[in-house]
Amino acid sequence: MTERTVQIEILVADSPDDAPAVESNSRVDVAVNGQMFPTAKLLDGRYVAWWFETAAPAPDDSITTEWVAAPTRYLAAATLSELWEDPAAFDTLVDVNC
């Protein structure tokens, strides 16, 4: 088996203008363990997923402040799902990378 690294980024906005640049009309909601997570294609070809308690806003909406970026929609959404289940893991990862 060959090991390869897959980069996954956790993005946190310092201001409403920090939203990642996404392709227009690229939003697709992805199901992970029975929950839907919105995803969109980033301009650099990766995908981003973000969360919200009720209906998800657009990725560039000022109330959207945290995203997970990954090479595929499902990987972004699945990573987001794991962080959603364990918010302390999100806080730990963000603190480590700051």
Per-domain residue ranges of the chain:
9-97
pLDDT tier at 73, thresholds 50, 70, 90: confident
Bigger pLDDT: 60 vs 24: 24
Does position 44 have pLDDT exceeding 90, yes or no? yes
Separation between Cα atoms, residue 15 and residue 28, nearest integer Å: 25
pTM over 0.85: no
- What are the two backbone dihedrals, phi and then psi, of residue 35, each rounded to the nearest 5 degrees? -110, 145
Separation between Cα atoms, residue 51 and residue 49, nearest integer Å: 7
Q: What percent of the chain has pLDDT over 70?
A: 90
Does position 54 have pLDDT exceeding 70, yes or no? no
Kind of pairing between the strands at 66-70 and 35-41: unpaired
User: Is the distance from CB of 59 to CB of 48 less than 8 angstroms?
Assistant: yes
At residue 97, the 3 state secondary structure works out as helix
